């Protein structure tokens, strides 16, 4: 109870052995009831312990009422299940340049390659087949999963997590036509990921042309997200899968981008903005807005327009019928 701070209705001495799901109820397990979920009231399928939001009307042998079941789930799960991490040490097949610094209790997996002038701080884990480019700095307690690439001179804060296949600091997409050919724009800047940033599998964050591409502390980026050169993203943002943010865009703090959103180059999004799925941002969006559609506009306005669009075929038919009546008369 002290872990999640809930109110118990039932037997305080009841022993639990794990966390289960509504689809697979097992004796001795706790089941969490999240928003919109329902549970059968038959005695054969009632869990021994249910954790749910305060005020929910549900029958259970033991009930724990909490303010936020999902938060309680996050707090309680590590008490029953822990992830196995490799022990500190450097695998014999890893290459560590003599001028690289490796801190205390660092784990470096098989086939990982660390270039010169790299700093890897204490308690960080590099899984197998990771590449760390020259001059990079990696903070404490970071997790860098297999087949991740961190190009030269990039900086990671503490507790950064990079899932498999992430590329940090790849060249930006910039070309200038010279006669019949396109000349590549050099990108000599860096990428900075502040503390507690997480980047999902196969996402890419390009280095700046000059200066830096920066991701603010606490921001979480889903799988398959593309962030272009010189973008600056604020603190505690959520960016869902398949979003694309074009070069030199600016996002404020606490921005939420649902799946498949796009932001035009040099776009500006204010603090606490919410973007519905597949929103296309082509103009600046001020603070505290909820937007959707292409081009992005107030969400309520966009919903009204969609309702009207669905009525157009019927309206068109009514106009045609009226025309027939007018011409006959």
Query: Which residues are marked as active site?
Result: 229
Q: Tokens at residue 273, please?
A: 């903005």
Handedness of CA 81, 76, 157, 203 (dihedral sign): positive
Give residues with Cβ within 8 angstroms of 146, minimum separation 6. Answer: 109, 127, 128, 129, 130, 164
Phi–psi pair at 119, nearest 5 degrees: -120, 120
Structure-token pair, residue 73:
């789930």
- Long-range Cβ contact pairs of 275-281 (< 8 A, separation 24 or more): 277/240
> Do the Cβ atoms of 290 and 272 come closer than 8 Å?
no
- Rounded to 5 degrees, what are φ and ψ at 69? -60, -35
Residue with the two structure tokens 């106009």: 319
| C-beta of residue 229 within 8 angstroms of C-beta of residue 174 | yes
- Measured CA to CA, the distance from residue 40 to residue 58 in angstroms comes to 9
SS3 72: helix
Output the CA torsion 52→55→61→66 (10° steps): 40
* Residue ranges in the chain assigned as alpha helix (H): 69-80, 299-328
Structure tokens at 304: 């009204």
Angstrom distance (rounded) from CA 276 to CA 99: 47
Residue in the structure block whose two tokens are 């022990």: 87
């Amino acid at each position: 109870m002290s872990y999640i701070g809930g109110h118990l209705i039932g037997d305080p001495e009841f022993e639990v052995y794990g966390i289960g799901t509504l689809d697979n109820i097992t004796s001795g397990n706790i089941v969490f009831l999240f928003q919109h979920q329902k549970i059968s009231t038959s005695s054969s399928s009632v869990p021994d312990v249910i954790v749910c939001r305060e005020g929910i009307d549900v029958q259970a042998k033991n009930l724990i009422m909490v303010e936020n079941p999902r938060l309680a789930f996050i707090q309680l799960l590590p008490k029953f299940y822990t992830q196995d991490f490799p022990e500190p040490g450097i695998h014999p097949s890893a290459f560590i340049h003599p001028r690289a610094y490796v801190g205390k209790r660092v784990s470096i997996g098989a086939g990982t390659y660390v270039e010169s002038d790299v700093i890897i701080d204490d308690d960080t884990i590099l899984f197998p087949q990771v590449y760390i480019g020259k001059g990079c700095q990696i903070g404490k307690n970071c997790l860098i999963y297999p087949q991740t690439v961190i190009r030269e001179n990039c900086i990671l804060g503490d507790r950064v997590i990079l899932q498999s296949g992430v590329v940090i600091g790849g060249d930006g997409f910039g070309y200038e036509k010279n006669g019949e050919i396109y000349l590549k724009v050099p990108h000599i800047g860096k990428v900075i990921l502040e503390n507690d940033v997480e980047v999902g599998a196969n996402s890419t964050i390009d280095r700046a042309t000059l200066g830096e591409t920066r991701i603010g502390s606490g921001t979480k980026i889903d799988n398959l997200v593309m962030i272009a050169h010189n973008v600056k993203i604020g603190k505690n943002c959520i960016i869902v899968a398949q979003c694309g943010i074009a070069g030199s865009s600016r996002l404020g703090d606490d921005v939420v981008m649902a799946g498949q959103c796009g932001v035009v180059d040099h776009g500006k999004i204010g603090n606490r903005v919410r973007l519905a799925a597949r929103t296309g941002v082509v103009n600046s969006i001020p603070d505290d807005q909820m937007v959707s559609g292409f081009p992005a506009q107030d969400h309520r306005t966009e919903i009204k327009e969609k309702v009207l669009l669905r009525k157009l075929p019927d309206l068109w038919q009514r106009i045609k019928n009226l025309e027939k009546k007018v011409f006959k008369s």
